[in-house]
Chains A and B, each alone.
Chain A
Amino acid sequence: MTRMTFQQATVAAIADEMRADRDVFVMGEDIGRFGGPLRSNAGLFEEFGAEGRVIDTPISEGTFVGVGVGAAMYGKRPVVDLMFLEFLALVMQQFLDAGAMHYYSGGTQRVPLVVRAKFGVGPFHGHAYDHHSWLMNMPGVKIVAPSNPDDAYALMRAAIRDDNPVLFLEHMALYHAGKAEVDDDTPLSLGKASIAREGTDLSIYASALMTKRALAAAKVLAEDGISAEVVDLRTISPLDEATILTSARKTGRALVLSEAIGRGSSSNDVAALLAEQAFGDLKAPIRRLAPPNIPTPFARELEREYLPSEDRIVSAAKDLMG
């Protein structure tokens, strides 16, 4: 047990995997001496640089993610830093190909690739776009979005050990936002949601920063006698359908949060799943809370208005309670 920030936990997980397995290496723009934007690779160059396992690349996102795909096809376990999720558009073809490989090869080809991307509103104040939902329509790809340092550590280790291409999301508002206990013995595989807070009156579904806000909102709701259960999705693709459904069947009400704009958001899959398979157990219509269908705005005041806030989560939950 050690206390770490989200950023420290993520880098510690990579370093631990690099020590355990020589096939793990990191690659990306400015991840060497510079240490990566927001210190996303801090210390790795000093420890592994001499072995050639920390590879700085030119500004060629499609190709360096492609190099990751090819290296993963032939024995390595690359961890590629895309810098920011805004650049996802530049590597869509690589995800499309890599995601198809296991199925299209008749099950012979494994692609153990992790692509890291920072995103989200917050202190970094830029590169905020949350585009991960594009990959929901891409077979064979996994999407992971931790909400706290302990999960960041365990999920990064699990992502590196997973034999599929994984997009690993690192929310910038969580990155340096305080330390928490990190248990480095927690065995974890991808695809499992967690119950971040137990409750009986409604279920709030969230990931990353939205989980943090949902937990804060749940405290406020508790003061008003409303018991909210917070389901932290952790893995967005594939969804942990069993945990999602069990919670809604228990509470009978569902509020689905999204940092991505509502249209085409991955959170809509959660709502669709509940509508199809838990409708009979619901006491109220499913409620979604997401930003409007606009590009992420810059000014703090607009950003605050744009994103589901603690207050709006509380108010939506109260509406649901009727």
Chain B
Amino acid sequence: MTKSNQTPQELYYLMVQTRTLDRVIGAHDGHWHGLEGEEATIAGIYHGLQKGDVIAPHYRGAVSAALAKGADLKTLMAGCLGRSTAYHKGRHRSDICGPPELGLIGLYAGSLGPPLGYAAGAALAAKLDGRDDIALGVFGDGTSSRGDCHEAMNMAAVLRLPMVFVCQNNQIAISTELSAGVAGSITARGASFGMPSAEVDGNDVIAVKNAMDEATARARRGDGPSLIECKSYRVAGHFYSDAEDYRDREEIERWRAKEPIARFRAYLIAEGIQTEEDLDRIDAALTEEVDTAFKMALEDPVPEAALLAPDDVYAEARP
């Protein structure tokens, strides 16, 4: 594999990993927020960040974001299952909240929007320290309607923070269609705050990756925030056991036919970047890896009562 082939292969890996999580965790937990259809967006956003970068991910894709930042797969799985071996010791949900020590800002009280402000704070910390680290604030089309989203974009632009806002526009917020939730264009809102803004095909992982590279480089240079809107479609239900009686089956099938992994596979093979056999090997290795991690996590202990530890609600003074 040559250097120029490394990025496409890593992107493919992240996409398939994302889909595999869906299959394994979704089968176990009806509340899992499925990722099918959005694998290219997720891989393109989270690939290639550096250690000090901070991500406030959208909940749909939060586990992939944590993995991209180096979190341990089995420990995250244990967090989805509420095991004591989790980063959170069973006190919270890893599917929506990754380990902060690896640069993940999760949903702590479940409200969408405020984490974009927290990401802006991480960006301010990097700027005050003179580091070239950046922060990503990722949100869905639904969250784009929150005042917190507008305020965070305005604040980041005013303070010229090293930050990239990314909208994971899957055209539906639970059951609310885009046209009923968003007036005008999300990309245009970024432009109205004076930041470079681009809409990209969220099912084209290379397009997402290129737009991210440009925006992250700009942020690292100290030239301020950008907005990228990745237009995709939520083929999955809102959660795995969603009856989805609110939308048209045919529309789902039309988008399923445009699914990003098959599209990227065809591209990699046609361009001679990877052979079909190479890709099959990646698929098989990931299936094995995720299945094994999940089985191990299932066998991990559930928290004992002592782990409730009420005194741990406050951080003690450091010695």
Question: Using Cβ atoms and an 8 Å threshold, which residues of chain A touch B3?
Answer: none
Bound Cα distance from A14 to B129, whole angstroms: 20
A73 touches B111 (CB 8 A): no
A70 touches B117 (CB 8 A): yes
| Most-contacted residue by chain B among A52, A64, A71 (CB, 10 A) | A71
Nearest residue in B to A61 (C-beta to C-beta)? B151
Check: B125 CB closer than 8 A to any chain A CB. Answer: yes
Bound Cα distance from A87 to B165, whole angstroms: 27
Tally of chain A residues near chain B (CB < 8 A)? 50
Question: Using Cβ atoms and an 8 Å threshold, which residues of chain A touch B318?
Answer: 163
Nearest residue in A to B52 (C-beta to C-beta)? A74
B117 touches A100 (CB 8 A): no
A238 touches B314 (CB 8 A): yes
Kindly identify which residue among A53, A55, A67, A106 contacts B117, using a CB–CB cutoff of 8 Å: A67
A55 to chain B, nearest CB (A): 7
A104-B129 in contact given A58-B158, A140-B313 (Cβ < 8 Å)? no
Check: A68 CB closer than 8 A to any chain B CB. Answer: yes
B155 touches A108 (CB 8 A): no
B 272-297 to A, binary, CB cutoff 8 A, 1 in contact else 0: 00000000000000000000000000
B118 touches A97 (CB 8 A): yes
A73-B118 in contact given A67-B124, A106-B89 (Cβ < 8 Å)? yes
Nearest residue in B to A109 (C-beta to C-beta)? B100
Bound Cα distance from A70 to B100, whole angstroms: 11
| Most-contacted residue by chain A among B54, B152, B312, B313 (CB, 10 A) | B313
Check: B101 CB closer than 8 A to any chain A CB. Answer: yes
Kindly identify which residue among A66, A75, A105, A164 contacts B118, using a CB–CB cutoff of 8 Å: A66
Kindly identify which residue among A68, A99, A105 contacts B88, using a CB–CB cutoff of 8 Å: A105
A58-B155 in contact given A108-B99, A140-B314 (Cβ < 8 Å)? yes
A33 to chain B, nearest CB (A): 16
Kindly identify which residue among B109, B126, B147 contacts A96, using a CB–CB cutoff of 8 Å: B109
Bound Cα distance from A107 to B100, whole angstroms: 11
A106 touches B313 (CB 8 A): no
Bound Cα distance from A74 to B99, whole angstroms: 13
Check: A124 CB closer than 8 A to any chain B CB. Answer: no
Question: Using Cβ atoms and an 8 Å threshold, which residues of chain B touch A64?
Answer: 117, 155
Bound Cα distance from A163 to B101, whole angstroms: 15
A-B CB proximity, top 6 nearest: A70-B121, A66-B117, A70-B118, A63-B151, A163-B315, A71-B121
* A62-B117, A109-B101 known, 10 other contacts, Cβ within 8 Å: A62-B114, A64-B117, A70-B121, A73-B118, A73-B122, A74-B122, A93-B114, A97-B108, A102-B315, A142-B314
- Which positions in A face B, CB cutoff 8 Å? 25, 52-53, 55, 57-58, 60, 62-76, 78, 93-94, 96-111, 139-140, 142, 161-164, 189, 238
- Show 26 A/B contacts (Cβ-Cβ < 8 Å), sorted by A: A58-B151, A58-B155, A60-B155, A62-B148, A63-B117, A63-B151, A65-B117, A66-B121, A67-B120, A69-B118, A69-B121, A70-B117, A70-B121, A70-B125, A71-B121, A71-B125, A73-B121, A101-B108, A105-B87, A105-B101, A106-B88, A106-B89, A106-B91, A108-B100, A108-B101, A238-B314
